[in-house]
Chain A
Amino acid sequence: MVKPNPFSAMFGRSPFQPLLAHIGKANECADQLLPFFEASLAGDWEEAAKIRETITELEHEADRLKTELRLNLPNTMFLPVSRTDLLDLITVQDKIANKVRDITGIMLGRRMQVPAELAQPMRDYMQTAVACVAQARQALEELQDLLESGFGRHASDVMLNMIRELHILEQQADNQQISIRRLLFDLEDRLKPVDVVFLYKIIDWVGELSDRAERVGSRLQILTAR
């Protein structure tokens, strides 16, 4: 005979748990990028396919969390942040996992191997992009303290600092991109033209990965600013 009463019905499920879980999945996804890259360099396509499988799975899980969050956000829900900002944030977050899947998909499909001269700069470049994603996740995890303190000044300062660091990382990735492009330009004549086109594309997409991580940071700033 014990029924849900209006009082306990008032406490909605927090949308911040799925939000944090989602960026966690996106981060795990990005973490697979370097192992995948190493496998492709070694020409171990079996291993690469296996890693790509994991990435697809993680991406699906992220999608599931995204849908769950969107469905659990009725108009009647009263949140300490704006609903639209929250929905924007999850959309931007979701694009991280998608980009990782795109990069690995095209590399696996075309069996792309980065020329030996580019291997180390490319590795560093990817590392920076992955670090960007990790930084975005850390900044997002500050949301926990921010909520706990009712959006207090200290917790928001910590978050802003993290977003600033994220910005610096992204700039670093931009600089690395410029130098890799320059290196690739010098190698162009030796390589197959189609390969070159797709190499540029991969370089572009890795750049987009860090770009999207940064955008999560700025969305987060919008979400918590008020």
Chain B
Amino acid sequence: MSIIAQHGEIFIILACLFGFFMAWGVGANDVANAMGTSVGSKAITIRQAIVIAVIFEFLGAWLAGGEVTATIRGGIVDPVLLQANPELLVYGMLSALLAAALWLLIASAKGWPVSTTHSIVGAIVGFGAVGLGMEAVAWNRVGTIASSWVVSPLLAGAISFLLFKSVQHLIFEAKDPFAAAKRTVPFYIFLVGFIVSMVTLTKGLTHVGLDFTFGQSFMLSVLLGIGIMGIGIVMENRVKHERRSGDQFGYGSVERVFGVLMIFTACAMAFAHGSNDVANAVGPLAAVISVVRSDGVIDTAALVPWWVLILGGGGIVAGLVTYGHKVIATVGTGITELTPSRGFAATLAAATTVVLASGTGLPISTTHTLVGAVLGVGLARGMAALNLRVIGTIVMSWLITLPAGAGLAIMFFFMFKGIFG
């Protein structure tokens, strides 16, 4: 306990630094994938993508990031077992942050497909199992998280398959696809607004001073959905029917209507990403702060200080502005085969899955979920060519990232233990 009292300030400063660095990494690398589908389908420009990402990543982190933060902070390593030596939790969380951030830096320099979520979970499990003992890790919870990594791409794939099938059926098969698109797209926009606000509201916004019952949440979500739909209809009316030569069904105009929809799904995606991935940086930070603040008393129920989520959101924005825009440009220009109708199905499916996971406090990989969603569109015969080798690289990244994150975290854990005693 004296260690905490003695070095409390240093611990908080270090945690803030590492946490911000980690959030910077998320903003610099991960956000590009979330926004890449929208930029690649030419629905929004890179500049617009950055503005959307800045606003909605931040909102997602602030409004819906609490659950995953709680999981990272106290769900993987059981803090109650550390009642006697609270400083071990501080060392562990600091080393997990440092390990994950360092691993991400190495991996992105080498161009390896790693996930922030997997690095931080691997790191926390690593220091827990080796530094504190096998029984300190909540293996049930870890099992649930690991299975959610398999389930989330599958779920996103299934949703995007159904969404794209509905687009085929309702719009492309219609006599006048353009009119059908104008009729149908507002409902999809409603769906985007409704799903995101419903999950966020039912999960609770008590930390910003709003407390709704389920019925109230439902009504409010419907209202929000309708409001967003109204904005969408106004924007949609600006899209005029233009027939290019050789485009006898008018699919070109249909895609431009979907371009309007893409703006909304891009916002949803940024929100979802913010709600899930900010926790990777903020969770360990919150754990350190709560231990230090309470002078070594580990209180699992303590609220995450409001400024911590804002620090995480700020880090993401900083990463995005300083470096992420380049990655968005690269990813966006690489994805030319994704038309707005496909992009919409994939993005909405991924956003829905991620927001659901955030609501239940499961840290999942946004990128892998998006990959699953795009494959779902491919299965519905919506994509010209998909390289399935990416599935292999994703599985490989799991196999490599977990031990690497864990190993680095163990190393740093003993290093901190040596430095602070």
Known contacts A1-B108, A145-B249: A6-B173 contact under CB 8 Å: no
Q: Does B238 contact A (CB under 8 A)?
A: no
Partner of A150, one of B32, B382, B390: B382
Per-position contact with A for B16-32: 1 when CB-CB < 8 Å, else 0?
Answer: 00000000000001001
Contacting residues, chain A, for B330 (C-beta < 8 A): 2, 4, 8
Instruction: Give the residues in chain A near B113, CB-CB below 8 Å.
Output: 5-7
Question: Which residue of B111, B385, B389 contacts A5 across the interface (Cβ within 8 Å)?
Answer: B111
From the candidates B172, B331, B378, name the one contacting A149 in the complex (CB within 8 A). Answer: B172
Cα–Cα, bound, A15→B108 (Å): 30
A77 vs B385: C-alpha distance when bound (angstroms) = 6
- Give Cα A154 to B214, complex, Å: 44
Contact with B along A61-82 (1 / 0, CB 8 A): 0000000000000101111100
Closest to A77 in B: B385
Q: Provide the bound-state CA to CA distance between A7 and B386, in Å.
A: 11
Q: Does B374 contact A (CB under 8 A)?
A: yes
B251 close to chain A: CB less than 8 A: yes
Assess the A2–B327 pair: CB atoms within 8 A.
yes
Quick check: is A115 within 8 A (CB to CB) of the other chain? no
Give B368's nearest chain A residue, CB to CB: A6
Stretch at the interface among B128-136, B270-278, B332-340: B332-340
Q: In the complex where A14-B337, A14-B385, A15-B385 touch, is A9 in contact with B390 (Cβ < 8 A)?
A: yes
Residue B367 interfacial (CB < 8 Å)? yes
CB-based contact A6/B337 at 8 Å: no
Apart from A14-B384, A152-B173, what 7 extra A-B contacts exist at CB < 8 Å?
A2-B330, A9-B387, A9-B389, A9-B390, A76-B389, A80-B384, A145-B247
Q: Which residues of B contact A10 (CB under 8 A)?
A: 371, 374, 386-387, 390
Q: How far is the CA of A109 from the CA of B390 in the complex (A)?
A: 53
- From known contacts A6-B371, A12-B385, A145-B248, infer whether A150 and B393 are also in contact, taking CB-CB under 8 Å: no
In the assembled complex, the Cα of A145 lies from the Cα of B244 at a distance in Å of 13
Q: What's the least CB distance linking B63 to chain A, in Å?
A: 26
Chain B: minimal CB distance from A37 (Å):
30
Give the CA-CA distance A6 to B397 in the complex, in Å.
Answer: 10
A6 to B108, CA, bound (A): 11
- A14-58 interface (Cβ within 8 A of B): 14-16
| Closest Cβ–Cβ distance, residue B21 to chain A (whole Å) | 16
Of the A-B pairs whose beta carbons lie under 8 Å apart in the complex, a sample of 22, sorted by A's number, is: A1-B109, A2-B327, A5-B29, A5-B331, A5-B367, A7-B33, A9-B393, A11-B334, A11-B336, A12-B385, A12-B387, A14-B384, A76-B389, A77-B387, A78-B388, A79-B386, A80-B383, A145-B249, A145-B251, A149-B172, A150-B168, A158-B248
Measured CB to CB, the closest approach of chain B to A215, in angstroms, equals 24
Q: Which of A138-169 contact B (CB under 8 A)?
A: 141, 144-145, 147-155, 158
Contacts of B33 in A (CB 8 A): 5, 7
**Would you call B102 an interface residue if the criterion is a C-beta within 8 Å of the partner chain's C-beta atoms?**
no
Residue pair A8, B384 in contact (C-beta under 8 Å): no
Contacts of A74 in B (CB 8 A): 387, 389
- In angstroms, Cα B388 to Cα A150, docked, is 19
Cα distance A93–B246 in the bound complex, in angstroms: 22
Interface size band for A: 35 or more
The answer for the CA separation of A10 and B373 in the assembled complex, in Å, is 12
Question: What distance in Å separates the Cβ of A72 from its nearest Cβ neighbour in chain B?
Answer: 8
B90 to chain A, nearest CB (A): 32
Interface residues of A (CB under 8 A from B): 1-16, 74, 76-80, 141, 144-145, 147-155, 158
Contact indicator B109/A150 (Cβ below 8 Å): no
Q: Which residues between 107 and 166 of chain B lie within 8 Å of chain A, taking CB atoms?
A: 108-111, 113, 164
A residues near B164, Cβ cutoff 8 Å: 150
Q: Is the CB of A4 within 8 A of B334?
A: yes
Q: How far is the CA of A12 from the CA of B383 in the complex (A)?
A: 10
When distances are taken between beta carbons in the complex, the residues of chain A under 8 Å from B228 are none
**Which of B339, B383, B385 is the most central at the interface, judged by chain A CB atoms within 10 Å of its CB?**
B385
A7-B331 CB under 8 A given contacts A16-B384, A145-B251: yes
Q: How far is the CB of B170 from chain A (nearest CB, A)?
A: 11
Q: State which of B251, B339, B367, B378 has its C-beta within 8 Å of the C-beta of A6.
A: B367
CB distance from B403 to the nearest CB of A (A): 19
By a CB distance below 8 angstroms, the chain A residues around B110 are 3
B36 at the interface (CB under 8 A from A): yes
Asked if B36 and A8 sit within 8 Å, CB to CB, the answer is yes
Inter-chain CA distance A77–B390, complex, in Å, is 10
Per the bound structure, the CA–CA distance linking A155 and B390 in Å amounts to 31
Q: Is B370 an interface residue (CB 8 A)?
A: yes
**B29's closest neighbor in chain A, by CB?**
A5
- Give the CA-CA distance A77 to B167 in the complex, in Å: 24
Instruction: Flag if B172 contacts A78 (CB, 8 Å).
Output: no
B45: min CB distance to chain A, Å: 18
Tell me the bound Cα distance from A93 to B245 in angstroms.
Answer: 25
Please state if A79 and B367 are interface contacts (CB–CB under 8 Å): no
B387 touches A78 (CB 8 A): yes
The residues of B that contact A147 with a CB separation of less than 8 Å are: 384
Q: What residues of chain B lie closer than 8 Å to A14, measured between beta carbons?
A: 337, 384-385
Cα–Cα, bound, A14→B111 (Å): 24
Binary A-proximity of B334-368 (CB < 8 A = 1, otherwise 0) = 11111100000000000000000000000000010
Is B182 an interface residue, CB under 8 A from the partner?
no
CB <8 Å contact, A8 and B387: no
B83-118 residues with Cβ-Cβ distance < 8 A to A are: 108-111, 113
**A158 proximity list for chain B (CB < 8 A):** 248
